[in-house]
Structure 1
Amino acid sequence: MNALHQYLLDSYRAEQRGERRPPMPGNHDVAALRELRDHRRFHAVISGRPARGATWARLRAAVGRRPRPGSG
């Protein structure tokens, strides 16, 4: 059973019971990713590391792309 099937089943059950429908799958994915990013940035600052740039630098190194001019 995938997420859509589970959502449809939960929606049906909620309707039968007179409850609110659950949120659609994927509705809050972007918000969850932003919260994870903010959490990591917060802990980086607390431990004395720079809060930005490390992830992109690692990604560029893995892909083999050169950094853009002026991006430090």
Structure 2
Amino acid sequence: MDALQQHLFDSHRAARRGEPAPPAPGTRDLAVLRELRDHRRFARVLAGRPATGPFHRACARLLSRLGLRRPPGRP
């Protein structure tokens, strides 16, 4: 039984019992991935290893071009 068949089965059972239908499969997939990404970023900050990657490097480049980046060694 695949996810769609299980969803149809659960929807039918919920309708017979007068309960609300379950969410369709895949409706929260992107939200779950975003939450996982945010959790991993938060864990990195707590571990003392903040943002890395292409986005962070692009932001750092932009800030340095604008002269808004602090010189090394200054708080």
| TM range, smaller chain | 0.7 to 0.9
Larger radius of gyration: 2
Aligned to 1:64: none
Aligned to 2:11: 11
TM-score scaled by length of structure 2: 0.69
What code does the residue aligned with 1:18 have? G
Report the identity percentage: 60
Aligned to 2:47: 47
Deviations 1:38-72 (Å, cap 9, x if unpaired)?
0000000001112241xx6xxxxxxxxxxxxx736
Matches within 5 A, 1:1-72: 1-53=1-53, 71=58
TM-score scaled by length of structure 1: 0.72
Q: How many residues align?
A: 57
In 1: Cα distance, 2:51 partner to 2:5 partner:
39
Q: RMSD between aligned alpha carbons?
A: 1.6
What code does the residue aligned with 2:51 have? A
Structure 1 runs of 4+ aligned residues shifted over 6 Å read: none
